[in-house]
Structure 1
């Protein structure tokens, strides 16, 4: 009889139905549960920690970058954080004004950046020919942790001598072999401090190095631009050596120093656009000659008005089977629409782009009346608009 639909089993007749099984109460209970669940989900999302960063590696096809081990594509898109709006270098204020640095990192993240290029000055990190500055290395580690918590990755550029007054006298008097040895110690110390952090995107050996041409030079630094020496010689006298051979030997010595403590982080060097083997001024760092010793090529390009086609041709000259990152760029010499065109068309060759941020938000730049801030506002607008799709 238990299978007859009009009969109920004896235990149903003999048991008292719980109050919560009342259909009306059950419906109300389900509605309350649904409301609580809808509230709990956003709260969980707010309280959840961001996923851990994965280190960036060159893609197996050598055409771009991926995250390891997931294999998800990664396109560097970010800012040079080389100085603030007062012209101060990072080491000038990162101890006393750390909250400013933290705020700037958050602002860069909110603008859509995933990479920040920092420029470490040799004179701040080497106290003597043989000893690194432990306090500065500790502060660098603090910066790395900030990048991790902010979800940003660092392009760590080293050996800067941007302010000539800050270059140690002992450093300028060294012979080429001893100077290179100091540079290798710098990189070993910095790489050791950053070892193991997924926030280190790459190590850039030096900003815009050149091998000398012609008679021996007397100054390790190139001419100043806006009070800063961004170009630096790696030798004063070729002594009969080919320029490219000097560049290769220098890269290999510094790369070995990094690889003693960090076997995997990508290594590059920031090249001037006149590094190509063309008539006229050249740097001695020909991309074709040095690319075997680097993980990817970095080039600095500032497109000029009416010359976008020529700038793109220059960019293609740096492509030799490994990723190319435009590590410095800015609409300094062209209009906003021309610069946007350059960015768009450069994607056929480039795998990453890094502009500039000097501590002023887009809103602050828009409110300012200076030409410099107007240029920066235009750049930041392009940066947000042209951001590569995830």
Structure 2
């Protein structure tokens, strides 16, 4: 974003630097029409325009460096703000936050306190996604050995600890129960709770190993309801959602079992991870339509992985009647360094970040 536009945005948003530094972030709730989000006190619309901060440029997960390299986290949050984002999706690893089925890790919770404060200082809202097991080698052996009921109990303990810890902060946009949960059909003979790896990380996770004759959406709903109840025991204010794969719809072929219309009673809004493909923007929009069940829908993951940056921008523009917010990705490599790289992926990312900034300005109503 040109410097002048960035300066004007700061002035419009903050008024003056002192007010920006001291004025608390507004709390966010679902709008009365159920289509989007608004500030609680003023009713002013709030549109999440954010990034997933799921790992750094080398692939390290946040908990792997946020103790020894806090300055890197501070720098990344400042860069995210400068890109024009107003929200950051954070992925909390179960193995780093739980020492036993009934014992959270206090040191990790203290570092989460620090992260929330950093978000407040940068006026960035957090989408806290929990229960992640992205690096298989970091998943506790005791956790994998639990049966379904015990595993759900451990997950409920995780969420009581995290949700209770952050309950006083308006900087929490939402609590996302899990990234890309799936109810498998039948019984998993391999007893593996994780889906296949992608780029060395396991983003998909199953919530049961045995369907045991139960309808898959019924299992998904029971799991969601169990965790929402656990959160509401300690936190009755923050919005709750879950990050769904785009193949969650009830249609022929591959489906996750998390059918939006059948599992979402206790969720405040829906999230879908949707990567538009080259020449298939219409198909992506059709999928997005399937998530319209009378609650706001946030596209929680998008990236020009299978299409060009400009085509993804077209998807964002055309999805505006259907989506209440969007999250892309940022891995700590700012545009200035991307410009000096001879790597194709860096050139693509640089092009996308430029589009991301321009689109964010349009969403904020800037010229």
- Among 265, 270, 273, the alignment partner of 1:297 is 270
**Residue correspondence of structure 1 range 154-233 to structure 2 within 5 A:** 154-217=126-189, 218-233=191-206
Change (3 A) 1:307 1:123: same
- Normalised to the residue count of structure 1, the TM-score between the two structures is 0.87
Instruction: Please give the alpha-carbon distance, in whole angstroms, between the structure 1 residues aligned to 2:309 and 2:55.
Output: 23
Change (3 A) 1:76 1:45: closer
Map Cα deviations across residues 9-30 of structure 1 (whole Å, 9 max, x no partner). Answer: xxxxxxxxxxxxxxxxxxxxxx
Residue number in structure 2 paired with 1:370: 343
Deviation at 1:366, TM superposition (A): 2.0
Match of 2:5 in 1: none
2:319 to 322, 338, 346: 346
The alignment partner of 2:104 has SS state of: coil
- Please list, as runs of the form range in 1=range in 2, the aligned pairs for 1:106-121 lying within 5 A after superposition: 106-121=78-93
In 2, Cα distance between equivalents of 1:363 and 1:59:
38
Q: Distance in 2 between matches of 1:111 and 1:45?
A: 20
Alignment partner for residue 92 of structure 1, among 64, 78, 82?
Answer: 64
CA separation in 1, counterparts of 2:321 and 2:329? 22
Structure 1 segments, 4+ long, off by >6 Å, are none
Distance in 2 between the 1:211 and 1:293 partners? 18
- 1:230-255: CA deviations, max 9, x gaps? 00000000111110000000000000
Range moving further from structure 2, 80-89 or 369-378 = 369-378
The whole-number CA distance in structure 1 between the counterparts of 2:283 and 2:248 is: 15
Residue matched to 2:333: 360
Q: Partner residue of 2:11?
A: none
Determine if the alignment matches structure 1 residue 149 to structure 2 residue 121: yes
Q: Secondary structure at the match of 2:349?
A: helix
Q: Contact between 1:336 and 1:382, CA under 8 Å: does it hold in 2? A: yes
- The number of equivalent residue pairs is 347
Structure 2 residue 364 is the aligned partner of structure 1 residue 389: yes
Alignment of 1:1-390 (within 5 A): 45-48=16-19, 49-217=21-189, 218-387=191-360, 388-390=363-365
The CA distance in 1 between the partners of 2:56 and 2:240, in whole Å, is: 26
Residue 120 of structure 1 contacts residue 156 of structure 1 at CA under 8 Å; is this kept in 2? Answer: yes
Q: Distance in 1 between matches of 2:199 and 2:71?
A: 27
Q: TM-score, normalised by structure 2?
A: 0.93
Q: Contact 2:246 / 2:274 at 8 angstroms: preserved in 1?
A: yes
The CA deviation at 1:364 is: 1.2
Deviations 1:129-152 (A, max 9, x none): 110000000000110010011100
Q: Which runs of 5+ in 2 are unaligned?
A: 1-14
CA contact (8 A) 1:291 1:320 kept: no
Asked whether the 8 Å contact 2:273–2:300 carries over to 1, the reply is: yes
The 3 A distance-change label for structure 1 pair 165 and 249 is same
Aligned to 1:14: none
Give the drift of 1:67.
0.8
Q: What's the offset of the Cα at 1:55?
A: 1.1
1:280-334 residue CA offsets vs partner (Å, 9 max, x unmatched) = 1100000111222210000001100010100000011111000000000001111
**CA distance in 2 between partners of 1:289 and 1:379 (Å):** 35
- Equivalent-residue separation in structure 2 for 1:104 and 1:303 (angstroms): 27
1: CA distance between counterparts of 2:347 and 2:302?
A: 16
